[in-house]
Structure 1
Amino acid sequence: MQLEIFQVDAFSAQPFGGNPAAVIPLERWLADDLLQRIAEENNLSETAYFVKNGEGYDLRWFTPAVEVDLCGHATLAAAWVLFEQLGEQAEVLRFNTRSGELRVSRAADGLLAMDFPAKQPVAVETPAGLLEALGLSSAQGVYRTDDYLVVIDDAALIEPLAPDFVALAAFDVRGIAVTAPGRGFDFVTRWFGPRVGVNEDPVTGSAHTSLAPYWAERLDKSSLRCEQGGARKGQLQCDVQGNGRVIISGRGALYLRGTVFI
């Protein structure tokens, strides 16, 4: 069997930035264990698969270790492949996913806008050992959705972080986002997910479904410019809607196009 594969750097206008994702179009679903093994072999934070279903597409995402409920950068990568490589003519793509229907629209300038459900972070007590595992001495607060959001006040502390990933994997959340008001951006973030097989994700669109509502409320603004990453960074635009949705926008760049032989 031969499968076409694309690798797209999502949330970047050029290769070597943003967050790489593999995208594999399918005519029909393969066995789950095979989908997982391909994702493991790709060894990227996410591999996205989609199958045409009526006027929309069924979309699934796999890390090298598990299938996940929501992935922003691989959704953007899948939409970019459909629009830019496979000749999709629709102005709005509709993806059926484990997180419900996700819509991606394109603007004339190549920006892709993803319509995702927003999540409202809830303040929690700082879990024992969390700050130590991150290498932080203090935090302004810790919040929870499916991730922990650790809010600090100094963006200069973000890039040098060198977490203990073994210790972080013990916390019963999808991942841990460390975020601060940014210099030149409304906020900056790094995201760590060793529990789901991704020590660090350069740009995590799904994390911004929680981050954007938090910062929108704190900064009293609905449109936010964001940057995520350590050595490798990507940029996002987040627009928090009044209907429980958040629009997450970014660009994509093709790194490779090839064939998987299985």
Structure 2
Amino acid sequence: MKLPLYQIDAFAEQPFSGNPAAVCPLTEWLDDSLLQQIAEENNLSETAFFVAEDGKYRLRWFTPVEEVDLCGHATLAAAHVLFTHLGHASDEIVFTSRSGELIVRQCENGLVMDFPASLPQPVVNPPQGLFRGLGVQPEEVLMAFDYIVVLRDERQVRDLKPDFSHWMQLDGRGVVVTAPGKDVDFVSRCFFPRLRVNEDPVTGSAHCETAPYWSEKLAKTALTARQLSARSGTVACQLKGQRVELTGQCADYLQGQITLSI
């Protein structure tokens, strides 16, 4: 069996920046255990698989250890593969997923993803393991599908050195640390040690949580965000009711073939 494989740097204007994702277009679904093995072998934060279904594309994402409900950068990468390499005819792609319909369209500044927004809610009694792993006193702790930890300023976010051993047993997907930005509206860093992704470079899905929070705090619907990982990236966010639009670019890194003797 031979399967096409693309590695795309998402939220990046050039290779070696942004967040790398593997993309495997399929003609039909393979066994879930094989999809998980491929994702583990790729050893990236996410591998995206999609199959054409009734004019749309069914999209799934796997970390090295499990399937997840939503991934922004791998969705961006999958759309880039369809537009750039597979000749998708229209300017819009509709993906179906565990998180409902996700729409990606081309624009002058790259690709725009239309995702469901998730407004984090305050956590009354955060787990002690969250604080032990953090090592600094947060301004606020909230929860959506991740813990959202608000710090005082950008410098605190940049200098943070978490102890991941305390975060392995937290409920939720991971921990997103955020603060007001100096040159952008807000900054963040994203940590998912339970998924064997200690720090994710540029996390599209996290902005489905942080953008609604900062939109409410800053009283504006158009925001610019920067993720302060080593491979930093910028995400343009636009709140539209219960949806959030995230805009970014992609850069090709690798095109190859998976060969399996099964």
TM-score bracket for this pair, using the shorter chain length: over 0.9
Deviation (angstroms), 1:131: 2.4
2:15 paired with 1:15: yes
Shift in CA distance, 110/27, structure 1 to aligned 2, threshold 3 Å: farther
2:244 paired with 1:255: no
Deviation (angstroms), 1:232: 1.3
> Hey, what does 1:164 align to over in structure 2?
163
User: Conserved in 2, the CA contact under 8 Å of 1:102 and 1:115?
Assistant: yes
2:149 paired with 1:186: no
> Which residues in structure 2 correspond to 1:58-97 (within 5 Å)?
58-97=58-97
- Deviations 1:192-245 (Å, cap 9, x if unpaired)? 011122111111111111100000000000000001132111110010112x10
> Hey, what does 1:50 align to over in structure 2?
50
Deviation (angstroms), 1:160: 2.2
User: Conserved in 2, the CA contact under 8 Å of 1:47 and 1:61?
Assistant: yes
Aligned equivalents of 2:134, 2:43: Cα separation in 1: 24
Aligned equivalents of 1:187, 1:202: Cα separation in 2: 16
> Which residues in structure 2 correspond to 1:191-206 (within 5 Å)?
191-206=190-205
SS at match of 1:12: coil
RMSD of equivalent CA atoms: 1.0
User: Conserved in 2, the CA contact under 8 Å of 1:22 and 1:74?
Assistant: yes
TM (norm. structure 2) is: 0.97
> Hey, what does 2:243 align to over in structure 1?
245
Aligned equivalents of 2:65, 2:88: Cα separation in 1: 31
Count of residue pairs the alignment pairs up:
259
Aligned equivalents of 1:134, 1:20: Cα separation in 2: 26
Deviation (angstroms), 1:101: 0.8
User: Conserved in 2, the CA contact under 8 Å of 1:61 and 1:71?
Assistant: yes
Deviation (angstroms), 1:16: 0.8
- Deviations 1:47-88 (Å, cap 9, x if unpaired)? 000001121101000000000000000000000110111111
SS at match of 1:170: coil
> Hey, what does 2:100 align to over in structure 1?
100
> Hey, what does 2:143 align to over in structure 1?
144
**Gapped regions of structure 1 (runs ≥ 5):** none
> Hey, what does 1:154 align to over in structure 2?
153
Aligned equivalents of 1:36, 1:166: Cα separation in 2: 24
User: Conserved in 2, the CA contact under 8 Å of 1:139 and 1:151?
Assistant: yes
Q: Which runs of 4+ in 1 moved over 6 A?
A: none
**Gapped regions of structure 2 (runs ≥ 5):** none
Deviation (angstroms), 1:110: 5.0
Deviation (angstroms), 1:22: 0.1
Question: Which one-letter code corresponds to 2:253 in the other structure?
Answer: Y
User: Conserved in 1, the CA contact under 8 Å of 2:202 and 2:229?
Assistant: no
Aligned equivalents of 2:27, 2:231: Cα separation in 1: 34
User: Conserved in 2, the CA contact under 8 Å of 1:51 and 1:58?
Assistant: yes
SS at match of 1:217: helix
Aligned equivalents of 1:169, 1:90: Cα separation in 2: 43
User: Conserved in 2, the CA contact under 8 Å of 1:113 and 1:250?
Assistant: yes
